[in-house]
Amino acid sequence: MLELARLSKTYADGTHALADITLEVRESEIVSLVGGSGCGKTTLLRLIAGLDRPSSGEIRLDGERLTEPNPSVGIVFQEPRLLPWLSVADNVGFGLSALSGGERRARVAHALDRVGLSEHAGRWPRELSGGQQQRVAIARAFVTEPKLLLLDEPFSALDAFTRASLHEHLLGLWDESRPTVLLVTHDVQEAVTLADRAVVMQPKPGRIFDEQPLRLARPRDKLSPGFESATRRLLSTLDNSLKPAHLAKAERGREAAALWW
């Protein structure tokens, strides 16, 4: 599905943002990218979205090389980025101009219903709360039925209750069309709640430190032993990714030995 091959990015000022990123994301898989600040998570998403160009390496989606924005790739940013002069419904349907009016209206209505905003279709973005605006952004991303959806910390500015509600809306929409999802997050619990696999990144330059499968049935119970165990394991790996390389390697060796026994 999504293939990243030896992807690197160095900016004009000499900042080495990413180094030798190789990753495969399977069809319909939800993968979270976690890591400390400055490890290149957002840079990686921008490269995949075609908003920036890699210094070396390549990106392929279903075997096709991605070098610029592609209609098969949707993205949700940290901020909703709604168009203030359009209604909620028109914001959701903004990318559907190629469809007939009837089909466009039907898709928009369904998407708004799935995120619980049907009654707000005719309102302006400024009349909505932050959580409602982000629900509009999520509906807008899904309504085009992308093969790949990129999520750049879309829930980071929201309170815990609103964030949990949006997790449910996101998974409900994902379950209908099953796009491949790549989620950037600083929230370990969010990664365990949503993802099938967590990829831990290491900074300076950004590179992959470790990968952990999250084989938990959905919906996920945050109070279950399995959820708590996965969260602790991911937190430990994230902590190790921020240590100097020789200490992190030694710690990973100890953890592997403990798991073996």
Instruction: Tell me what pLDDT residue 156 has.
Output: 85
How many CA atoms lie within 13 Å of 1's alpha carbon, on the beta-carbon side?
19
CB count, 10 Å around CB of 15? Answer: 13
Candidates 208, 206, 212, 230; CA nearest to 220 is 230
User: Which strands, in side-by-side order, build the sheet including 197-202?
Assistant: 73-76, 148-152, 180-184, 30-35, 197-202, 207-213
The distance from CA 197 to its chain's CA centroid, rounded to whole angstroms, is 12
90-104 confidence digits (pLDDT tens): 999 998 988 898 999
Q: Is the confidence at residue 176, as pLDDT, over 60?
A: yes
State residue 11's pLDDT score: 93
Output the pLDDT for position 250: 56
- pLDDT, one tens digit per residue, over 220-260 is 999 999 999 999 999 999 999 888 764 555 555 555 444 44
Which pLDDT value is given to residue 261?
45
How confident is the model over 128-140, as pLDDT tens digits?
A: 999 999 999 999 9
Choose among 31, 64, 2, 44: nearest CA to 205. Answer: 44
- Residue-range domains of the chain with CATH: 2-69+150-163+179-260 (3.40.50.300), 73-145 (no CATH)
CA atoms of 180 and 31, how far apart (whole Å): 8
Cα 5 to Cα 188: distance, rounded to the nearest angstrom? 26
**Res 253: pLDDT:** 57
pLDDT of residue 251: 58
Q: What is the mean pLDDT of residues 203-223?
A: 93
Measured from the Cβ of residue 33, the count of other Cβ atoms closer than 10 Å reads: 27
Mean pLDDT over each residue of the chain, to the nearest integer: 90
**pLDDT number for residue 258:** 47
Among 43-57, 71-85, 241-255, which stretch is predicted with the lowest mean pLDDT? Answer: 241-255
Query: What would you report as the CA-atom Rg of the chain, rounded to the nearest whole angstrom?
Result: 19
255 versus 71: the higher-pLDDT residue is 71
Residue 182: strand pairing partners: 31, 150
How far is Cα 181 from Cα 31, in angstroms, rounded to an integer?
6
Is the pLDDT reported for residue 153 higher than 80? yes
Contacts of 14 by beta carbon, 8 Å cutoff, 6+ apart: none
| Predicted TM-score (pTM) above 0.85 | yes
